[in-house]
């Protein structure tokens, strides 16, 4: 155990976690957050102390939650052994490489996802939508961050295209190297808040993090608990402390095509199409040449966007083709 000055609130403790601790447990358990997952042990942080503990929960049944980074975990106050994982506010999963039927937990209890794209020829609304669907599936609100505004004369064109994805979607335009621009993200990165970044390679995610951190490199943000044993540990995933008091979780392997269980997220992002499809005469309408297709009618009437239709169809086809998971749309 290592003593620290941190409080549970600073670690992201919330009323909905506190509410899960029963009266019988109070005083006998220690709530801790999983800061890092190593091979064979996990680094956890609680009020005033850090520990390295076993990731295994005695008596856990197959299908029970096991701890992943970002999780809140109850430890037995006497034995310091994990008792159970508290229900998560959000969870990122991905299909395990080599076994597409298996889902791997990536990160839990993320409060905000920054979906990052750059204002240049790499900008793609379709890609933004896929990342937003991933965030939606995880149960995390997305904020779109459009970088490299210094390389275009028309940043507002990119912002308008992003805003059109969904009413109310937050879109921030930034030069990722400009601290005063990036400060606009600080409101999501304050004390006890947990954020993650999604976006294709080269869009400027590390640059944003480094600017948020001041001059510190993200690679130097390893938490101290991981070094406690003094021996080499293979860190799989960990939380990084942000300068403003927030926490950054890496999302390794979350690529836009990794749409595990995406049907719900797609339905929400494309709720205009989902609603129209409910009105089609046939419940298994493919929205092609069938009579009474409300989607085609909407496109013809101009109430539905033809380009969004193409992207929606592709996403729905991709989700339905997911191995081991059936598409969830009506009539399928
Ligand atoms: N001009 C300009 N360049 C930027 C901006 N943001 C990032 N860059 C540059 O774009 C390149 C890629 O940025 P990174 O931050 O490494 O991108 P990334 O998203 O972390 O990429 P991966 O690590 O591959 O996922 C670097 O050369 C950055 O300096 C920006 O707002 N303006
Ligand atoms: Zn139809």
Task: Give the Å distance between the CA of 89 and the centre of ligand 1.
Answer: 30
Ligand whose nearest atom lies closest to the CA of 206: 1
* Ligand 1 binding pocket, CB closer than 6 Å: 147-148, 150-151, 175-177, 199, 201-207
Q: Tokens standing for 176?
A: 């990722």
Distance CA(263)–CA(151), nearest Å, equals: 36
Q: Please compute, for residue 331, the number of CA atoms within 13 A of its CA located in the half-sphere on the CB side.
A: 11
Three-point CA angle 82, 83, 87, nearest 5°:
105
Ligand whose nearest atom lies closest to the CA of 115: 1
What is the overall mean pLDDT for the chain?
A: 85
Distance CA(200)–CA(218), nearest Å, equals: 18
How confident is the model over 185-242, as pLDDT tens digits? 999 999 999 999 999 888 999 999 999 987 555 443 343 334 444 444 455 678 999 9
Which positions ≥6 away from 35 have C-beta within 8 Å? 42, 43, 44, 45, 50, 69, 223, 225, 226, 238, 239
Q: pTM for the complete prediction?
A: 0.79
Task: Give the Å distance between the CA of 117 and the centre of ligand 1.
Answer: 10
Supply the ipTM of this predicted assembly: 0.96
Domains of the chain in sequence order: 2-88 (2.30.30.140), 107-249 (3.40.50.300), 263-320 (1.10.40.50)
Known binding residues are 147-150, 199-207, 280, 285, 287, 293
Number of the ligand 1 atom closest to the C-alpha atom of 176 = 31
Known binding residues for Zn(2+) are 280, 285, 287, 293
How confident is the model over 285-329, as pLDDT tens digits? 999 989 999 999 999 999 999 989 998 888 887 766 654 433 333
């Amino acid at each position: 155990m290592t003593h620290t000055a941190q409080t549970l609130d600073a670690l992201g403790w919330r009323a909905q976690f506190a509410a899960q601790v029963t009266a019988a447990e109070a005083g006998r358990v220690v709530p801790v957050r999983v800061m890092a997952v190593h091979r064979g042990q996990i680094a956890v942080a609680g009020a005033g102390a850090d520990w390295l503990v076993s990731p295994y929960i005695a008596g856990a049944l197959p299908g029970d939650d096991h701890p992943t980074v970002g999780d809140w975990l109850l430890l037995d106050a006497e034995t310091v052994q994990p008792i159970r994982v508290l229900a998560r506010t959000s969870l990122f999963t991905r299909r395990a490489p080599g076994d597409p039927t298996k889902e791997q937990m990536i990160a839990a209890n993320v409060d905000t996802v920054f979906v990052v794209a750059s204002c240049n020829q790499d900008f793609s609304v379709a890609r933004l939508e896929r990342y937003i669907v991933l965030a939606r599936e995880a149960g995390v609100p997305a904020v779109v961050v459009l970088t490299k505004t210094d390389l275009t004369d028309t940043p507002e064109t990119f912002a308008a295209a992003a805003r059109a994805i969904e009413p109310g979607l937050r879109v921030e335009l930034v030069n990722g190297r400009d601290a005063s621009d990036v400060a606009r993200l600080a409101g999501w990165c304050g004390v006890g808040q947990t954020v993650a970044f999604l976006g294709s390679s080269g869009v400027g995610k590390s640059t944003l993090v480094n600017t948020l951190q001041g001059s510190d490199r993200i690679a130097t943000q390893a938490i101290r608990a991981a070094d406690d044993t003094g021996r080499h540990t293979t860190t799989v995933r960990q939380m990084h402390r942000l300068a403003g008091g927030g926490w950054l979780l890496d999302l390794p392997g979350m690529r836009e095509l990794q749409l595990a269980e995406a049907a719900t997220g797609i339905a929400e992002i494309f709720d205009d199409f989902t609603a129209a499809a409910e009105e089609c005469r046939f419940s298994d309408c493919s929205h092609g040449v069938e009579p009474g297709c409300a989607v085609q009618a909407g496109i013809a009437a101009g109430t539905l966007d033809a380009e969004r239709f193409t992207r929606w169809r592709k996403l729905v086809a991709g989700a339905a083709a997911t191995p081991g998971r059936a598409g969830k749309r009506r009539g399928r």
